């Protein structure tokens, strides 16, 4: 009796485990083995394979190659992919996915004639919410709908970033392998995110105040690190430096060149960010940057990772939003979409990112718009795979279809960036997600 | 700054009208060579040449007067019957910036308008249409100590860094009176009144900040001396670098001059005393409506003023303003400029300067100086611009009548030899845009 109950319970547990495996592979367990065969393969790392097989084992790519070269393992579940094209999972190196707070406001108007009226002074530690020490991971609320929306656009990996304040906080890299947050995390505290915005009602309330505030913060962080190091070296006769959580959080970015991502809503923001990066020798990334073509000369002189947003609405601080409706429409339809193509022509490297755009379909549509504006599909694919992987220091594990890499694979009906292409299946960490029926 | 509402509305209307053609205006060509022929040349500093030519090569004035043969490839402009003068300079405005005031605190010398230049501001076009080639664009007057200002050339279409006039005297904005004590503000429940709320508080807070800056400089001096010693003491700790006090230290060292928004005579004299006590240089008082009351003191101290021609009495502290302010001060040895403080009035500074002929009795030449060489001296760029002289930069305006005539208008504005405003061309473009807008639209075309 007792024994049979235990068998029954074990059976139930086993079934639950099998069901769970289909949805998400719990950490520590061995994931399933798949053989995706008879598909066209675009590995990004090498030439296109017209008819090939990809073997996935336990979350990793075991082998990739032409059908006649790859032996399908006996334990593999066969995934018939005749008529489909396999791509590496797309990476958005900047996203506000899973943030409860509203997405980044459409820039801030800095043109107010009247000085803002200060509110009652708040306590010092609350004056710059949320601050550089904030880890956005602690605020994320993943939703299945968000995951699916991005899967259907081919995205398997995102850098989830905060979107409030000047020092917005630190981002986390996620592999979209299900709904639970913890198993998604590839790396936490990836980059510090800075936005040239203002604090309404308190200091700084103007863009120039914000720039001074950012500079003073880095000066203070550097000074803080120097005082700590001096104290460590010889504390005798030295007053103990006071602990400051805000400056402590900034130290790795000013001392150890951890990435700092500047949101750049117009051409001036790009120059500002480069100036601050130069002054403090930061490892700067420029995000948004839909006016990067206007600073092409500067960007060629001082190359810096660019995270071009697939969101072509001109922010309020752009001249394209400030000089009449006609120009704004033209910018959204023609000028901003042509940015990526212009950069490619100038030989300036960039990644394409979803940014504040939480609608996967709209993001993919904007990739297609950029391609129609002159970007080659191949360059677009690289800007969504290997280039962001390199920027994030993840090119050994992501960004291409190669043996040994994480099994992030997208199977598409049709060529990815054609208007009527459709994502059929997505594998993330070797976990399969089915989206469209495969019909030959 | 304190703008009446009407001009602001007007500006908006003008901008809306201009928006149609803004995008089609090309950035100026890079030739930097031009020959202007047969104009009446108002050199400002070297008299009037009734009929003559001006040659600019590589952005610099090479020759003035007589008949000059056009070098090959140089654009020739016929100015017969028209007036050729130095580009107009606005000593006090707030255009071409992304934000004017860091108004959250009373003391903000770290908030530098030079970091927020907006080269896409269409007010640059408005300025060009009034013959303006250079502006001193400033931090607003919300704070007793505002931020550093910047001098820009109106090079529309060029990247922001190319607009900056690096040779100009570094300045810092101060302000006294109603704006900084926030007299017009009603404190809402839950809000606190910002200090200072009185004129005596304004003087006190500025003194306090300069004392802080003195201490800061002394700290650094002590540290630098100790660090430079043969055997520096163990565990020597440098002071914290403070961007706010760094700027005030520049003022105390004489590397940066004060430009002080000030209306009334008494507090102006107090500020002059403060400057004497701390040993810093006041270059100019802004808008000073009661300047005529202390013209002799200003002249003796070598402090200039930058003022409106009229439009006084728009607030209590402007109640004793008079139209004779600029003219009277100019006649009493004060270096006077007429400013716009506005993205709209900037296009008619020549009209405002001319008012000093009626109110104050200045001559044509004297009046023209108020918007050319005088502001150039105030900005420390009179060796480069402000008059038509060989060797100066080719910043030139061509007017249909004498610029001090009520019937004049600006036909062309040239900066360093490049044409940035050409009235004929703008009118042509506007006509084409109107034609395009009136043409029947394609089905489904953008509205």
**pLDDT tens digits, B196-253:** 999 999 999 999 999 999 999 999 999 999 999 999 988 899 999 999 999 999 999 9
Question: Residue A30: its pLDDT value, please?
Answer: 81
Burial (0-12, 13-18, 19+ Cβ within 10 Å), A283: middle
Nearest Cα residue to A307 out of A252, A347, A270, A258 = A270
Question: Residue A112: its pLDDT value, please?
Answer: 35
- Are A298 and A208 members of one domain? yes
A238/B100 touch (CB, cutoff 8 Å), yes or no: no
A206/B22 touch (CB, cutoff 8 Å), yes or no: no
Residue A295 and residue A267 in contact, taking contact as beta carbons nearer than 8 Å = yes
Q: How confident is the model at residue B30 (pLDDT cuts 50, 70, 90)?
A: low
Question: Residue B221: its pLDDT value, please?
Answer: 98
Residue A199 and residue A128 in contact, taking contact as beta carbons nearer than 8 Å = yes
- List chain B residues with CB under 8 Å of A117: 103, 185, 188, 191
Question: Residue A122: its pLDDT value, please?
Answer: 43
Chain A residue with CA closest to B123: the answer is A323
Question: Residue B264: its pLDDT value, please?
Answer: 96
CATH no. of B31-87+386-447: 2.30.40.10
* Tens digits of pLDDT across chain A (440 residues): 456 566 665 656 555 554 544 445 445 578 899 999 999 999 999 999 999 999 999 999 999 999 999 999 999 999 999 999 999 999 999 999 998 754 444 443 333 333 444 444 444 444 445 689 999 999 999 999 999 999 999 999 999 999 989 999 999 999 999 999 999 999 999 999 999 998 777 899 999 999 999 999 999 999 999 999 999 999 999 999 999 999 999 999 999 999 999 999 999 999 999 999 999 999 999 999 999 999 999 999 989 999 999 999 999 999 999 889 999 999 999 999 999 999 999 999 999 999 999 999 999 999 999 999 999 999 999 999 999 999 999 999 999 999 999 999 999 999 999 999 999 999 999 999 999 875 54
Q: Which two tokens stand for residue B288?
A: 């000073």
User: Which of B23, B110, B140 comes nearest A115 by C-beta?
Assistant: B140
Residue B25 and residue B429 in contact, taking contact as beta carbons nearer than 8 Å = yes
Question: Residue A13: its pLDDT value, please?
Answer: 54
User: Which of B22, B102, B160 comes nearest A206 by C-beta?
Assistant: B102
Nearest Cα residue to A274 out of B245, B102, B109, B160 = B160
Cα A263 from chain centroid?
A: 13
Nearest Cα residue to A317 out of A272, A262, A266 = A266
Question: Residue A7: its pLDDT value, please?
Answer: 60
Question: Residue B98: its pLDDT value, please?
Answer: 95
- List chain B residues with CB under 8 Å of A223: 240-241
Starting at the edge strand that comes first in sequence, how are the strands of the sheet with B336-338 ordered?
B145-148, B171-175, B257-261, B282-286, B304-307, B336-338
User: Which of B112, B120, B147 comes nearest A319 by C-beta?
Assistant: B120
Average pLDDT on B257-276 reads 97
- Are A235 and A343 members of one domain? yes
Question: Residue B346: its pLDDT value, please?
Answer: 98
The answer to whether residue A145 is domain-embedded is yes
C-alpha separations of B335 from A86, B196, B372 in Å: 76, 31, 12
Average pLDDT on B80-91 reads 98
Q: Range of A391's domain?
A: 90-398
Among B96, B116, B156, pick the best mutation site for testing chain A contact (most A Cβ within 10 A).
Answer: B116
- Are A258 and A324 members of one domain? yes
Among B104, B178, B181, B235, pick the best mutation site for testing chain A contact (most A Cβ within 10 A).
Answer: B104
- List chain A residues with CB under 8 Å of B122: 323
* Residue of A176 and B20 predicted with greater confidence: A176
pLDDT at B285 over 60: yes
- Are A101 and A48 members of one domain? no
How many secondary structure helices (H) and strands (E) does chain A include?
12, 16
- Are A334 and A249 members of one domain? yes
Instruction: Tally C-beta pairs within 8 A across A and B.
Output: 139
User: Which of A120, A294, A333 comes nearest B191 by C-beta?
Assistant: A120
pLDDT at B343 over 60: yes
For residues B185-220, b (16+ Cβ closer than 10 Å) or e, as one string? eeeeeeeeebebeebebbbebbeebbeebeebbeeb
Query: Running DSSP on this structure, what letter comes out for residue B117?
Result: B
Q: Which two tokens stand for residue B246?
A: 């760094």
Nearest Cα residue to A386 out of A375, A401, A404, A376 = A401
- Are A200 and A71 members of one domain? no
Question: What CATH number does the domain containing A418 carry?
Answer: 2.30.40.10
Q: Is A187 on the interface with B (CB under 8 A)?
A: no
Round to whole Å and give the CA distance between B329 and B327. Answer: 6
pLDDT at B58 over 60: yes
Round to whole Å and give the CA distance between B418 and B307. Answer: 30
B104/A230 touch (CB, cutoff 8 Å), yes or no: no
Question: Residue A439: its pLDDT value, please?
Answer: 53
The answer to whether residue A8 is domain-embedded is no
Nearest Cα residue to B413 out of B135, B161, B196 = B135
pLDDT > 70: what percent of chain B?
92
Distance from CA of A420 to the nearest CA of B (A): 23
Residue with tokens 């979409």: A337
Round to whole Å and give the CA distance between B217 and A195. Answer: 33
Residue B261 and residue B176 in contact, taking contact as beta carbons nearer than 8 Å = yes
**pLDDT tens digits, B405-447:** 999 999 999 999 999 999 999 999 999 999 988 887 654 444 4
- Are A298 and A391 members of one domain? yes
B111/A117 touch (CB, cutoff 8 Å), yes or no: no
Round to whole Å and give the CA distance between B46 and A190. Answer: 65
Helix, strand, coil tally for chain B in percent (to 5):
35, 20, 45
| Count of structural domains, chain A | 2
Q: How confident is the model at residue B187 (pLDDT cuts 50, 70, 90)?
A: confident
User: Which of A205, A272, A333 comes nearest B115 by C-beta?
Assistant: A272
CATH no. of B1-28+88-385: 3.20.20.140
- Are A229 and A375 members of one domain? yes
B235/A117 touch (CB, cutoff 8 Å), yes or no: no
Element (H, E) at B250: helix B243-252
Residue B347 and residue B373 in contact, taking contact as beta carbons nearer than 8 Å = no
The answer to whether residue A132 is domain-embedded is yes
Residue A160 and residue A95 in contact, taking contact as beta carbons nearer than 8 Å = yes
Q: Is A327 on the interface with B (CB under 8 A)?
A: yes
The answer to whether residue A290 is domain-embedded is yes
- List chain B residues with CB under 8 Å of A216: 110, 242-243
B111/A212 touch (CB, cutoff 8 Å), yes or no: yes
The answer to whether residue A4 is domain-embedded is no
Q: What is the ipTM of this complex?
A: 0.91
**pLDDT tens digits, B289-338:** 999 999 999 999 999 999 999 988 999 999 999 999 999 999 999 999 99
Q: Which two tokens stand for residue B417?
A: 């030899």
Burial (0-12, 13-18, 19+ Cβ within 10 Å), A275: middle
Round to whole Å and give the CA distance between B115 and B253. Answer: 23
Helix, strand, coil tally for chain A in percent (to 5):
35, 25, 40
pLDDT > 90: what percent of chain B?
86
For chain B, what's the residue count? 447
The answer to whether residue A14 is domain-embedded is no
- List chain A residues with CB under 8 Å of B436: none
Angle at the Cα of B284 from the Cα atoms of B280 and B288, rounded to 5 degrees: 125
Round to whole Å and give the CA distance between B1 and B140. Answer: 6
Q: Do domains B1-28+88-385 and B31-87+386-447 have the same CATH topology?
A: no
Q: Which two tokens stand for residue B78?
A: 């016929």
Distance from CA of B193 to the nearest CA of A (A): 8
A115/B142 touch (CB, cutoff 8 Å), yes or no: yes
Question: Residue A115: its pLDDT value, please?
Answer: 41
Question: Residue B331: its pLDDT value, please?
Answer: 97
Q: Which residues numbered 232-291 in A keep a CB inside 8 Å of some CB on B?
A: 234, 236-239, 267-268, 271-272
Nearest Cα residue to B307 out of B282, B324, B293, B332 = B324
User: Which of A236, A237, A327 comes nearest B23 by C-beta?
Assistant: A327
Starting at the edge strand that comes first in sequence, how are the strands of the sheet with A259-264 ordered?
A90-95, A155-160, A167-175, A185-195, A259-264, A283-288, A306-309, A351-353
The answer to whether residue A16 is domain-embedded is no
C-alpha separations of A266 from A164, A167, A371, B259 in Å: 18, 19, 22, 31
Residue with tokens 């707030």: B94
A34 three-class SS: strand
- List chain A residues with CB under 8 Å of B140: 115
Residue with tokens 């607009």: B163
Q: Which two tokens stand for residue B182?
A: 């926030």
The answer to whether residue A224 is domain-embedded is yes
- Are A368 and A416 members of one domain? no
Domain boundaries along the sequence of chain B: 1-28+88-385, 31-87+386-447
Question: What CATH number does the domain containing A249 carry?
Answer: 3.20.20.140
User: Which of B104, B160, B185 comes nearest A209 by C-beta?
Assistant: B104
Question: Residue B441: its pLDDT value, please?
Answer: 65
Round to whole Å and give the CA distance between A429 and B247. Answer: 54
Q: Is A201 on the interface with B (CB under 8 A)?
A: yes
B8/A209 touch (CB, cutoff 8 Å), yes or no: no
For chain A, what's the residue count? 440
The mean of the pLDDT values for chain B is 92
B57 three-class SS: strand
Question: Residue B77: its pLDDT value, please?
Answer: 97
Average pLDDT on B348-365 reads 97
Which residues pair with residue A194 across a beta bridge?
A167, A262
End-to-end Cα spacing for chain B: 38
């Amino acid at each position: 009796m007792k024994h049979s109950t235990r068998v029954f319970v074990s059976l139930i547990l086993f079934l639950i485990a099998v069901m769970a495996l289909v949805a998400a592979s719990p950490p520590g367990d061995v994931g399933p083995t798949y053989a995706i065969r008879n598909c066209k393969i675009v590995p990004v790392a090498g030439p296109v394979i017209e008819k090939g097989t990809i073997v996935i084992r336990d979350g990793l790519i075991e082998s990739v190659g032409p059908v006649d070269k790859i032996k399908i393992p006996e334990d593999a579940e066969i995934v018939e992919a005749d008529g489909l094209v396999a791509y590496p999972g797309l990476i958005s190196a900047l996203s506000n996915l899973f943030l409860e707070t509203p997405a980044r406001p459409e820039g801030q108007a800095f043109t107010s004639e009247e000085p803002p009226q200060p509110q009652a002074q708040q306590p010092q530690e609350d004056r710059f919410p949320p601050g550089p020490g904030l880890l956005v991971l602690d605020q994320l609320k993943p939703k299945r709908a968000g995951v699916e929306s991005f899967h259907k656009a081919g995205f398997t990996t995102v850098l989830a970033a905060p979107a409030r304040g000047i020092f917005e906080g630190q981002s986390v890299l996620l592999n979209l392998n299900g709904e639970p947050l913890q198993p998604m995390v590839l790396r936490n505290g990836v980059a510090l995110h800075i936005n040239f915005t203002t604090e309404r009602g308190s200091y700084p309330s103007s863009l120039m105040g914000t720039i001074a505030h950012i500079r003073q913060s880095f000066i203070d962080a550097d000074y803080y690190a120097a005082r700590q190091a001096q104290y460590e070296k010889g504390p005798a006769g030295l007053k103990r430096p006071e602990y400051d959580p805000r400056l402590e959080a900034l130290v790795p970015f000013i001392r150890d060149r951890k990435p700092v991502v500047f949101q750049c809503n117009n051409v001036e923001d790009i120059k500002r960010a480069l100036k601050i990066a130069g002054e403090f020798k930061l490892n700067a990334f420029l995000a948004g940057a839909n006016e990067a073509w206007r600073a092409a000369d500067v960007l060629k002189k001082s190359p810096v990772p660019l995270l071009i947003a697939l969101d072509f609405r001109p922010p309020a601080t752009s001249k394209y939003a400030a000089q009449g409706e006609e120009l704004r429409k033209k910018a959204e339809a023609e000028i901003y979409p042509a940015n990526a193509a212009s950069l490619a022509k100038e030989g300036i490297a960039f990644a394409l990112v979803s940014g504040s755009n939480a609608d996967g379909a709209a993001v993919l549509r904007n990739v297609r718009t950029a391609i129609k504006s002159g970007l080659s599909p191949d360059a677009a694919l690289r800007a969504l795979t290997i280039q962001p992987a390199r920027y994030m220091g993840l090119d050994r594990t992501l960004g291409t279809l190669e043996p040994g890499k994480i099994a992030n694979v997208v199977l598409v009906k049709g060529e990815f960036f054609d208007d009527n292409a459709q994502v059929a299946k997505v594998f993330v960490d070797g976990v399969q997600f089915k989206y469209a029926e495969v019909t030959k | 700054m304190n703008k009446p509402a009407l001009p602001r509305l007007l500006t908006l209307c003008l901008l809306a009208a201009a928006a149609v053609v803004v995008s089609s205006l090309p950035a100026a060509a890079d030739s930097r060579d031009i020959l202007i022929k047969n104009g009446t040349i108002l050199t400002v500093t070297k008299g009037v040449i009734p009929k003559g030519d001006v040659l600019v090569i590589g952005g610099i004035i090479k020759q003035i007067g007589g008949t000059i043969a056009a070098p090959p490839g140089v654009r020739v402009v016929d100015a017969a019957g028209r007036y050729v003068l130095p580009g107009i300079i606005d000593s006090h405005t707030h255009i071409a910036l992304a934000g004017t005031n860091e108004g959250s605190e009373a003391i903000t010398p770290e908030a530098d308008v030079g970091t927020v230049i907006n080269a896409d501001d269409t007010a640059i076009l408005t300025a060009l249409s009034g013959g303006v080639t250079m502006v001193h664009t400033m931090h607003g007057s919300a704070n007793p100590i505002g931020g550093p200002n910047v001098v820009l050339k109106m090079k529309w279409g060029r990247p922001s860094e190319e607009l900056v006039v690096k040779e100009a005297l570094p300045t810092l904005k101060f302000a006294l009176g109603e704006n900084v004590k926030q007299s017009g503000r009603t404190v809402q429940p839950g809000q606190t009144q910002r200090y200072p709320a009185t004129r005596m508080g304004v003087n006190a807070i500025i003194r306090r900040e300069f004392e802080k800056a003195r201490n800061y400089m002394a700290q650094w001096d002590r540290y630098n001396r100790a660090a430079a010693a043969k055997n520096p003491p163990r565990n020597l700790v440098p002071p914290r670098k403070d961007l706010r006090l760094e700027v005030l230290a520049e003022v105390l060292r004489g590397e940066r001059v004060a430009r002080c928004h000030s209306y009334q005579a008494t507090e102006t004299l107090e500020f002059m005393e403060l400057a004497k006590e701390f040993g810093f240089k006041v270059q100019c008082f802004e808008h000073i409506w009661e300047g005529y009351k202390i013209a002799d003191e200003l002249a003796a101290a070598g402090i200039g003023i930058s003022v409106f021609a009229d439009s006084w009495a728009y607030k209590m502290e402007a109640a004793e303003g008079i139209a004779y302010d600029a003219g009277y001060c100019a006649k009493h040895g004060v270096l006077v400029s007429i400013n716009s403080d506005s993205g709209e009035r900037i296009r008619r500074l020549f009209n405002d300067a001319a008012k000093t002929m009626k109110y104050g009795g200045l001559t044509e030449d004297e009046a023209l100086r108020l918007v050319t060489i005088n502001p150039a001296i105030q900005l420390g760029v009179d060796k480069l611009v402000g008059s038509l002289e060989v060797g100066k930069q080719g910043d030139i305006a061509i007017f249909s009548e004498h610029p001090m005539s009520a019937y004049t208008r600006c036909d062309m504005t040239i900066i360093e030899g490049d044409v940035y405003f050409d009235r004929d061309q703008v009118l042509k473009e506007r006509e084409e845009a109107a034609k395009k807008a009136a043409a029947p639209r394609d089905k489904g075309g953008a509205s």
